[in-house]
Amino acid sequence: MTQKEEFINHISFMDTKSLETVLVENAFKKYANTSFIEKLNKLFAEFKTVGNTRLEAYKGIGICECNKDKKVFCFVGDKTKDYFTLSYLENEKEYYKFSTSCSEVSYDEKLDVNNFHHFSIKPENTSEYKNHKQTSCPIKEYTAFCSKVICNMNAIEIWLEKHKDSYSETVALLKENTFKLNLVELAVKKEFEILYGKLNVLSILHKKEAYFKQQIKDYNEVKDSISRLKNWFDYQAENKNKYQLFSDVFYNNRTLTHYSLKIDELTLNPEDFKHTLKYLSIIEDSQAVVFEGTVKTIGDLYVHIESNNNRAYSKRKIVLSINDFCCSEYLITFSDGRVKHLDNLSVGQFVKVFARLTGGELQNSEGTNEYRHNLYGWRVEKLDAKPKVKKNTKEMDLYYKYILPLPF
């Protein structure tokens, strides 16, 4: 029996142990044969569970875009007529370079088939990959980081230094020799490259702490001078790139602090970025609309449970009375984590509210376009009691007597 005949025979009897002896290296795509055998074993188990004892092998030619003009094997269960397909190449001695194929195949004869089983392998589902996760030193150390409540940057810096050479070797290998790796090995190398790069980004951000510490110091020196403070903010606007990366990585306006120091399953220590966070709070407060007023009403907390069309969220509204010429009253909405700013707040308190003004043109129920604006609460500062205004009774009497129109 030739090697090609043995291959078909072993598949037909769902005998993967014997099949190992006739497979070429990396027979399925660029996967190790152990991964190919694992997938076949899983598929064979499904076929056997429903009563199939052997598979009939048929050859055809692919006709759809994914397998057009490729040679295709079709293996059909003898009882259920369930089937799967594999495209392949061949020479006189062996079949090789198997790949996933679909059900769109032309055969010399009409086949009696039932359910189609798609044959594919995901690297992360292979034992080869799972063994790597369990034995790789960098991955195990990273997993240990993630298991902690918070991870200090010092531990990450040590990890980066320890695996620096491995990272350089991995980058060089991925750049020049990816064809030498099977798909699981390639996935493993790329995963390590991405992991190292991700933690290196955290290192870059952490090293900026000294810069932001200096900026805060400069701010405290000029904040009482209008002209010097303007120059400070102009400089920050020109150098927005200094904090753009941090915002892109960690910004989350649903949280109380507006920044969530989490990346994947890793939670960082806020103390490692305290100057950056303080600096960004100054920048954000400068962009807010600020009101001082008295709390008139505080609404109940509304919680929306996640649905198919909307994410879960919570919100709470307050009305703030402003002592301006119009005796204005503003409705301000606090959402998600920021509703905590209203904890221990009571009606009648004098507060300063930082808010974001949003708005745009919307169509009302009558089909008319109109502009609507909303105030979204950013944070709240409790102030001392509202200062009493001294009344100038003598001068106001003159106003009422001579200026205010008389009721004729």
- Domain coordinates in residue numbering, the chain: 3-121, 125-206, 209-286, 289-382
Residue type, 126: T
Q: How confident is the model at residue 74 (pLDDT cuts 50, 70, 90)?
A: very high
CATH topology of domain 289-382: OB fold (Dihydrolipoamide Acetyltransferase, E2P) (2.40.50)
Q: How confident is the model at residue 408 (pLDDT cuts 50, 70, 90)?
A: low
Q: Is pLDDT above 80 for 389?
A: no
What is d(CA 108, CA 181) in angstroms, rounded to the nearest whole number? 37
pLDDT of residue 392: 76
pLDDT of residue 406: 63
User: Which residue, chain included where needed, has tokens 């500062």?
Assistant: 381
Looking at domain 3-121, does it have CATH number 1.20.120? Answer: no
> What are the pLDDT digits (tens) for 176-223?
876 778 889 889 999 999 999 999 999 999 999 999 999 999 999 999
Mean pLDDT score of the chain: 92
What is d(CA 94, CA 259) in angstroms, rounded to the nearest whole number? 58
CA distances in angstroms from 118 to 39, 85, 86, 100, 215, listed in the order given: 11, 8, 9, 8, 58
Say what percent of the chain tops pLDDT 90: 74
pLDDT of residue 388: 75
Cα atoms found within 13 Å of the Cα of residue 97, Cβ hemisphere only: 6
CA distances in angstroms from 56 to 35, 288, 340, 384, listed in the order given: 23, 72, 66, 86
Q: Is pLDDT above 70 for 407?
A: no
73-90 mean pLDDT: 96
Question: Which DSSP string corresponds to 39-101?
Answer: HHHHHHHHHHHTT---EEEEEEEE-STTTTT-EEEEEEETTT--EEEEEEEE-SS-EEEEEE-
Please state whether beta strands 313-321 and 329-335 pair in parallel, antiparallel, or not at all (unpaired). Answer: antiparallel
**Using only C-alpha atoms, what is the Rg of the chain?**
34
Q: How confident is the model at residue 403 (pLDDT cuts 50, 70, 90)?
A: confident
Higher pLDDT, 167 or 133: 167
Using DSSP, state whether 375 is helix, strand or coil: strand
pLDDT of residue 386: 75
Using DSSP, state whether 110 is helix, strand or coil: coil
Nearest-CA neighbor of 122 among 187, 45, 191, 44?
A: 187
pLDDT of residue 22: 93
Own/partner pairs, 21-27, CB within 8 angstroms, 24+ separation: 22/94, 24/94, 24/96, 26/182, 27/96, 27/97, 27/98
pLDDT of residue 398: 85
> What are the pLDDT digits (tens) for 297-329?
999 999 888 877 778 889 999 999 998 888 899
47-64 mean pLDDT: 95
90-104 mean pLDDT: 94
Cβ neighbours of residue 97 closer than 8 Å, sequence gap 6 or more: 27, 29, 88, 89
Residue type, 26: N
Top mean pLDDT of 182-191, 231-240, 399-408 is at 231-240
